[in-house]
Structure 1
Amino acid sequence: MLRKRTICATLVLVGAALTTAAVPAVAGQPTAARATACQADWGSLPKAGSDSTATPVRDVRTGRHACYDRMVVDLPGAPLGGIGYSVRYVDRLHQDGSGRHVPVSGGAVLEVRVAAPAYAPETGEPTYPARAGRPLPGVDLTGYRTFRDARFAGSFEGETQIGLGVRARLPFRVLRFDGRLVIDVAHDWTGGR
């Protein structure tokens, strides 16, 4: 009986060693960080920051990451924390001012509002070359796991509105940096890759 227990314990230890050896090493990153790299406990409830800026939107770009897709709204010169926003899931996207429906493809739609104009406040000249109801200029979402569509809804009374179509209602986060507002949408609810 003692011999069977010893053999079982040995097999468990060998199995654990083989399982650990199968996890690829990431230079400079501890094992625990690798295991939790894709955890997205961000939730899907609305997120907002109450600041505003007269610094206009200059560009919107996107990127693909292992755990999420990312949208970046560039506002060069806007101070850290000085960018107001509201990001939330909506049933349908409606353009500010006119109330016109802006169709956005995908299983769910995130309304992204940035408390900054997409035009120069002094002259009214556009600073971002987008047209209401049209896809965002220069944004190609081919091959993205989560993003499906990105539409410009407009810029009205100092606030810019974008519709982001995603595969499904998924967790997201919003980050503010100097001159940038970042929206990350996870690939799934479990944090899997």
Structure 2
Amino acid sequence: MNRRLAALVLAATTVFTFVPMASAQSTPTLSNIRTGQHAGFNRVVLDMSGLPAEHRVREVAGVANCGSGDPISMPGSTEILEVVLIGAAAHDDNGNPTYTGSRNLAPPGLDNVRRVAFTCDFEATLGIAVGYGNASSWHRVFTLTNPNRVVIDIGQ
């Protein structure tokens, strides 16, 4: 009878193995926003810890905060380009901000880009709006590595 009881206890006992969680950030994060004046275009650079899974680009008449729905002011902008990074954030896995700069900035020294603003930082979706003054401007958005960054060019 003791053998049966010991076998039953052994069979009912579950063994837990501790598996440490990965220390790497699971979602690429924004660390800095840089801007620059170039011959024929203005550049906005989003410095990232990794690259987003994809990005979507569209011209919009206005932008709003994705969480509250409150409109975001884009003074001086006659055109707005919204760039949505899927699989990216401006905070780490614990909710701590990885980007601590302004969330609605007027970049100095640019002749066309008037405003760069956050539209979203929720559930691995990071939205950035770039407001500019010249309605006939072209734009392009692409990623680069070493270091990882998303580049937004707005023609003059």
TM interval, shorter chain, is: 0.7 to 0.9
Tell me if 1:156 matches 2:122. Answer: yes
| Aligned pairs (5 A) from 1:76-155 | 76=49, 78-79=50-51, 82-105=52-75, 106-115=77-86, 116-121=88-93, 123-130=94-101, 134-136=103-105, 141-155=107-121
**Residue ranges of structure 2 left out of the alignment (5+ in a row):** 1-25
Q: Please report the TM-score for the alignment, with normalisation by the length of structure 2.
A: 0.73
**What is aligned with 1:165?**
131
**What is aligned with 2:154?**
185
Distance 1:141 1:75 in 2: 19
* Greater fraction helix: 1
* Displaced runs of 4 or more, over 6 A: none
Distance 2:127 2:141 in 1: 15
Distance 1:168 1:109 in 2: 10
Distance 1:141 1:99 in 2: 24
**What is aligned with 1:54?**
27
Q: Is the 8 A contact 1:83 1:181 kept in 2?
A: no
Distance 2:53 2:151 in 1: 11
Distance 1:59 1:111 in 2: 18
Matched letter for residue 47 of structure 2: D
Q: Percent identity?
A: 30
Question: Residues 157 and 130 of structure 1: is their aligned pair in 2 closer, same or farther, counting only changes over 3 Å?
Answer: farther
C-alpha RMSD over aligned residues? 1.9
**What is aligned with 1:175?**
142
Shift of 1:125: 0.7
Matched letter for residue 68 of structure 2: S
Shift of 1:72: 0.6
**What is aligned with 2:16?**
none
Matched letter for residue 84 of structure 1: E
Distance 1:66 1:162 in 2: 23
SS in 1 for 2:130: strand
Q: Please report the TM-score for the alignment, with normalisation by the length of structure 1.
A: 0.60
Distance 1:75 1:144 in 2: 22
Matched letter for residue 111 of structure 1: E
* Greater fraction strand: 2
**Residue ranges of structure 1 left out of the alignment (5+ in a row):** 1-52, 188-193
Per-residue CA deviations over 1:58-99 (Å, capped at 9, x if unaligned) read 1111111001000011113x25xx542122211110111222
Matched letter for residue 56 of structure 1: T
